[in-house]
Amino acid sequence: MIRTIPLFPLPGVVLFPGTLLPLHIFEPRYREMVADALAGDRIIGMAMLKTGLEGDEGGSPIHPIGGAGEIIESEALEDGRYNILLEGRFRFQVLDDQVREKKPGAAYRIARVAELETVPFLSAEEESRVCELTAKIFEAVRPRIELPPLPADPSPLTPERLAAEIALRLRYRPEELQSLLEVSSLPARYAALIGRMMEWQKRVEFLEPFRPGEIDGVRN
According to the model, what pLDDT value does residue 31 have? Answer: 96
Q: Can you spell out the DSSP letters for 14-32?
A: ---TT-EEEEEE-SHHHHH
Report pLDDT digits (tens) over 132-180.
Answer: 999 999 999 999 888 999 998 778 899 999 999 999 999 899 999 999 9
Rg (CA), the chain: 20
**Residue 138 included in any domain:** yes
Question: Which of 93, 116, 139 corresponds to the end of one domain?
Answer: 116
**Residue 87 included in any domain:** yes
Whole-angstrom distance, CA of residue 181 vs CA of residue 92: 10
Do 49 and 135 sit in the same domain of this protein?
no
The reported pTM is 0.85
Task: Tell me which DSSP letter residue 186 carries.
Answer: H
Tally of structural domains, the chain: 2
Do 132 and 94 sit in the same domain of this protein?
no
Angstrom CA distances, 134 to 122, 159, 183, 198, 210, stand at 17, 10, 17, 10, 28
Does position 219 have pLDDT exceeding 80, yes or no? no
**Domain enclosing residue 48, as ranges:** 2-116
Report pLDDT digits (tens) over 48-87.
Answer: 998 765 566 667 889 999 999 999 999 999 999 999 999 9
Do 151 and 57 sit in the same domain of this protein?
no
Do 32 and 76 sit in the same domain of this protein?
yes
Q: Is 200 strand, coil or helix?
A: helix
**Across the strands, what pairs with 72?**
none
**Terminal Cα-to-Cα distance of the chain (whole angstroms):** 69
Do 134 and 106 sit in the same domain of this protein?
no
SS3 content of the chain, % helix, strand, coil (to 5): 35, 25, 40
Q: Tell me if 101 sits within 8 A of 6, measured CB to CB.
A: no
According to the model, what pLDDT value does residue 144 have? Answer: 86
**Residue 101 included in any domain:** yes
Question: Which of 87, 116, 145 corresponds to the end of one domain?
Answer: 116
Q: Is 118 left (phi over 0), alpha (psi -120 to 50) or beta?
A: beta
Residue 167 belongs to domain with CATH number: 1.20.58
